[in-house]
Amino acid sequence: MMHRAARIEDWLHDRREVFARKRGYRPTVIPFTGYGSTGWVRILCRVLLAKPEKPGAVPREKKPRTDGRDAGIRGWRSFTSVPVKAVTVTIEISGEIHEVEADRGGVVDAVVQVNLTPGWHVARLHTEDSAVQEAPLLIVAPGTTRGVVSDVDDTVMVTTLPRPLLAAWNTFVLDEHARVPTPGMAVFLERLAASAPGAPMIYLSTGAWNVAPTLTRFLSRNLYPAGALLLTDWGPTHDRLFRSGREHKRENLRRLAVEFPEIRWILIGDDGQHDEDIYSEFLQEFPGSVAAVAIRQLSPSEAVLAGSRSKDAVEGTDESPWVYGPDGSSLANQLANYGLV
C-alpha cells in the first residue's frame, strides 16, 4: 500500500494540475542529457506544466544586474512548477519512434532500444501537443574502458549542503550565479575527459530533478565537461516518507557497473558526506569497475558547515588508488602519478 505522505502528495499534485490547466498551462518536456551504448540508450527528462507563449509575443527582457552579468534565477522557481504524472512522452531517435510514460513525479527514466554509432546524438521529445525538445545523447563506443563519476555538492560546486538552513538558502533562495565552483575541479575533470576521449562523464548527486536546468547551466558556464546528470525526485515514495540519497547513489553506481562491465570508473567525491563509504562499498562489490577514487578534502570551515568530516581516510591499492586533496589541481597531480590523467 502506498505511503500516506505519497497519497497526499499525489492529491496535491492532481489539484494543482487541474487548476493550472484551467489557466491555460500545457505540458512541456524538460530534456536532460542521456547516455547509452550502440544498442540502447537511457532517456532522461521531466514533464511539467508551463504557460505557453502567445503567438507573436515578444519575450520579456530580464532586468540587468548591477555587476554586468545576466539576471540570475532563484532556486525556488524550480520547485513551484507542476509535474504531470502518467503522461505519454514520444521519443524520436534516428527516425525511430518510442513511447514511454512519466512517473508520478513527471520524471521519465527509461531505456529504449536503438541502433546508433558512438558519439553524440539527439533525441527529440514531446508530449500531447507540446513543442519538440532535444535531449543530447552520449553513445559509448564498444571497448571503452574509462569513465568518470563525480559528485556535485561540495565536489564540483561549493554548497555546504548537509547543513539544513544553508541547504535551503542555497537551493531555494540563492541566485544561481552566486554558486561557487570548486577551485581547479573543472580543469581536473576536463583533463580526465581529454585523457580518454569518448569516456562517459556522469554527475551523480542527491539533488532533486527540479534543479537540473540550474546545474546544467552552472556546469556549462564554469567549463565543466558535458555529461549526464543523475539526480533524484525529492519527497515521499510508495513505502517511505523521504527518499534515501545514499541509496540513490548506490543504485546508480551498481547500474553503471552492470551497463558497462568493461569500464573502470574514476570516482570523485568529498569527505564531508558519505562518498567515501559509498565508494568503498562499491569497490568491494565491483572491484574490477574502479580505476581510482579522488576525494576532495573540505577546508576546516567547510567541514564545520557540513556538520562533520569523515573519520578516516581509505587506503587504496595499486589497482584502485585513493587520492585526497583540497582542490582539483592537487587531485589531478596525484592521479597523474598513476597515469590516469
Domains belonging to the chain, first-starting first, are: 4-139 (2.60.40), 146-336 (3.40.50.1000)
Whether residue 187 is predicted with pLDDT greater than 50 in this model: the reply is yes
**pTM to 2 decimal places:** 0.85
Q: Give 193 or 21, the one with higher predicted confidence.
A: 193
In angstroms, the CA 80 to CA 213 distance is 14
Arithmetic mean of pLDDT over the chain: 83
Confidence of residue 197 (pLDDT cuts 50, 70, 90): very high
- Residue 268 has a pLDDT of 98
10 Å CB burial of residue 93 (0-12, 13-18, 19+) is buried
The pLDDT of residue 18 = 75
| C-alpha cell recorded at residue 143 | 571497448
What is each CA distance from 99 to 13, 110, 126, 137, 139, in whole angstroms? 23, 10, 10, 17, 20
pLDDT per residue over 202-239, tens digit each? 999 988 888 888 889 999 999 999 999 999 875 544 44
